[in-house]
Amino acid sequence: MQEYWELYMKQIDGHIASVFVNAGISIELPSEDKFYVGFIKLKMKAPNDRGLISQEEETQLSFIEDKIEMESLRYRVGNYVGKIVSNNEITFIYYLKYDFEWPNAVQSAMNTFPDYEYTFGSKMDSEWEVYHKLLFPTPIEWQIIQNHKVCDHLKEQGDPLHIARAIEHKAYFETDDQRSAFIAHIESEEFRVKSLIDPTESTPMVGVSFYRQDKPFYYDIDTLTLHLIDLSTQNGGAYDGWETSVVKI
């Protein structure tokens, strides 16, 4: 399985959650040989005030995570695909070829940590619904992940992020009429069209590149891009991200 891990935040059952997922395996799913999902739900001993991992306990939880992975490899039970940290608990999720060895692998790992409370289990999941519906980011969550990567890169270059500058966006549509309706809407919000994008063999849709003076700070750009996603969708299209230049004080 391919390894490409992403970390992001979301709400689960009304609680903030930190999700760590191997997004690289999504192109291979559903798996042809792993039909069961297995989990270990661990009660953390010293979570922070948001119910997430604290610095105090981070090292120990990493030891536990590594031990579970080592035992899963020793028993050859399956593949680690992600974890969810929320509401004072951490859940490790595996996909298994068979689940009869899962209890042995779990108990072998957790016997090393007798002071931790945990539950575990497994069930049939041939369509990988737990992965798709619980772990893998939605389009909106994926956009926020990409937003924050760009923001982090700008900060590394010395950009304070709070200074407004031209931010360029792109969106694509199936028809000229859809694109025209979208352009009319964004122009009413003081965006300016930079260029129209013609279809190509690789992208057989019409597009538009547009820009406006805005701040690329995390929460500001999240709010803006989610609005543009909604607006693109309302007009039968798809938002395709943003870019901007570095600004230093």
The number of CA neighbours under 13 Å toward the Cβ of 76 is 1
Q: How many other C-beta atoms can be found within 10 angstroms of the C-beta atom of residue 174?
A: 15
Give a three-class secondary structure readout of 183-211. HHHHHHCCCEEEEEECCCCCCCCEEEEEE
CA 220 to chain centre: 19
CATH number of the structural domain 139-244: 3.30.70.970
Closest CA to 211 of 234, 232, 189, 227: 189
Which residues on adjacent β-strands are paired with residue 34?
none
151: enclosing H helix or E strand: helix 139-156
CA distances from 21 to 40, 75, 93 (A): 15, 22, 9
Only one residue has tokens 């849709």, namely 205
Please spell the DSSP secondary structure of 204-232, one letter per residue. Answer: -SEEEEEEEEE---HHHHHHHHHHHHHHH
Looking at residue 1, its pLDDT comes to: 63
* Structure tokens, 9: 């935040």
Q: For helices 176-188 and 218-234, what crossing angle results, to 10°?
A: 140
CA–CA separation, 238 vs 235, rounded Å?
A: 9
**Domains 5-135 and 139-244 belong to one CATH topology:** yes
Question: What residue spans define the domains of the chain?
Answer: 5-135, 139-244
Per-residue pLDDT of the chain (249 residues; tens, 9 = 90+): 678 899 999 999 999 999 999 998 887 776 778 899 999 999 999 999 999 999 999 999 999 999 999 999 999 999 999 999 999 999 999 999 999 999 999 999 999 999 999 999 999 999 999 999 999 999 899 999 999 999 999 999 999 999 999 999 999 999 999 999 999 999 999 999 999 999 988 889 999 999 999 999 999 999 999 999 999 999 999 999 999 999 998
CATH number of the structural domain 5-135: 3.30.70
Phi then psi for 145, rounded to 5 degrees? -60, -50
Strand spans (E) along the chain:
5-12, 15-22, 36-43, 78-86, 89-96, 118-124, 165-173, 192-197, 206-214, 237-244
